[in-house]
Amino acid sequence: MTAAREYTLEVNSIRLHLREQGEGPLVLLCHGFPETSRVWRHQLKALSEAGFRAVAPDLRGYGGSDSPADVDAFTTLDVLGDLIALLDALGEREAVIVGGDWGATVAWQAAQLRPDRFRAVAALGVPLMARAPMPPSLLFPRTETALFYTHYFSEPGVAEREFERDVGKTLRRIYFAASGEAGPRDDARTPNPFGMVSRDDGLLAALPDPDQRPAWLAAADLAAMVASFERSGFRGGLNYYRNLDRNWELQAAFDGLKVEVPALHLIGERDVGRVMPGMDRIIEAMPALAPRLTASQVIEGAGHWLQQEAPDAVNAALIGFLRGL
C-alpha cells in the first residue's frame, strides 16, 4: 500500500490542494459544507488497500485550494470544470466519482453531464433530484421571524460573521447537531441545523453545544478542521449556496437528462435531510432518474457526516460497488 500524500495542482486556472493514496483505477472523493478533503481520511486508506487510487481535493473555496473573489465562480458547473481538468492533470481518462453533501450534488451532475469521464457515481446523503419547478429562492420558505437556512447562507457576510466569531464552536455545534449522536430525527426536540433560522439569533444559538466533540471525530481531526477554516474562512463554502438560483437556471439546458452510469446512494438513518418534506418521495423516485442505480442504502444510527460516522459501513459499500463495476 502506498503512503498518503498531500500536494497542490493548478487546474482550470486555480490551485487545488489534494490528498492522495493508492494505485489503480481512480476514485475521486468530493466533500461538502463545512468540510475539507480531510473528511475522506478513512476512505483514502481503505480504497488504497483495496487496489484503487483515491484522490480527495479541497474543492474551490475550501482548505488549501484557491477561493475565487467572484461569487459567481461557485456554480456546480465551475466545480465540475475543476474536476475535469483535475482528471487531465492526474493523467487519467476516467474516474468513479464519490461525493457527500454538496459533493454529492456535484457528483450526480458530473455523472449526468460527463459519463465519458465519470464511469460511475456514489452519493452520500443527497439523493439525485429532478429540476425543481421554480428557483430555490422562491421554493424555500421565509417568515417575518425566520428563514430557511439556504436563504440565511445566501445573505452576503451574515453567516460569515456568525461562523467566524468562534470557528471551534461553529464546527463543534454543526457537526454534532447534524450527526447521529444528536438523536433520532423523528424527535421534534432534536434540533435540525438545516431548517429554519432565526433572523435575530442566527443558526448556532438553536444548536446544542456538546461538552465534548462527537465520538466519531478525533481531537486532532477536529483541530485540523478548525485551523483550516480559521485560515480560509467560510465565504468560499457559503458561495455555493449563493449560486443556488444560478445552478437552477443553468440546469434548464440539461433538464430531463438521466444519469446513465452505475450509481449508488447511501444515507444515514439519522441524516437531517431525511426529515425534510418530500425527501422520501425524492429518494423513491431516483430509479427513474438513474436507471442503473444499484442501491439506496440506509446506514443505521448514522447522521449526515456518513463517511466519518460510519466509515466501515461506507467503505464496505463503496468497495463492493467498485468491484462490481
pLDDT digits 0-9 by tens, 15-47: 999 999 999 999 999 999 999 999 999 999 999
Which secondary-structure segment (H or E) carries 115? none
Q: Which of 17, 31, 151, 304 is catalytic?
A: 304
304 labelled catalytic: yes
Grid cell 444560478 in the structure block, residue: 246
Q: How far apart are CA 271 and CA 149, in angstroms?
A: 16
Q: Which of 58, 66, 101, 271 is catalytic?
A: 101
| Amino acid 310: pLDDT | 98
Which residue ranges make up each domain of the chain? 5-323
SS3 295: strand
Confidence of residue 190 (pLDDT cuts 50, 70, 90): low
Beta strands in 169-323 (DSSP E): 196-198, 263-268, 293-299
Q: In Å, how far are 128, 132, 177 from 209, measured between CA atoms?
A: 32, 35, 9
| Amino acid 103: pLDDT | 98
The three cell numbers locating residue 126: 443527497
pLDDT digits 0-9 by tens, 217-229: 999 999 999 999 9
The three cell numbers locating residue 120: 460511475
Work out the number of other CB atoms within 10 angstroms of the CB of residue 101.
27
Confidence of residue 2 (pLDDT cuts 50, 70, 90): confident
The three cell numbers locating residue 302: 448514522
Q: How far apart are CA 43 and CA 20, in angstroms?
A: 11
Measure the CA dihedral 290/295/301/304, to 10°. Answer: -20
Q: How far apart are CA 248 and CA 269, in angstroms?
A: 28
304, HSE (Cβ side, Cα atoms, 13 Å): 26
Task: Give every CB contact of residue 241 below 8 A, 6+ residues apart in sequence.
Answer: 33, 150, 153, 154
Grid cell 431525511 in the structure block, residue: 274
Q: How far apart are CA 37 and CA 40, in angstroms?
A: 6
* Four-way CATH pick for 5-323: 1.10.10.60, 3.40.640.10, 3.40.50.1820, 2.60.40.420: 3.40.50.1820
- pTM over 0.95? The answer is yes
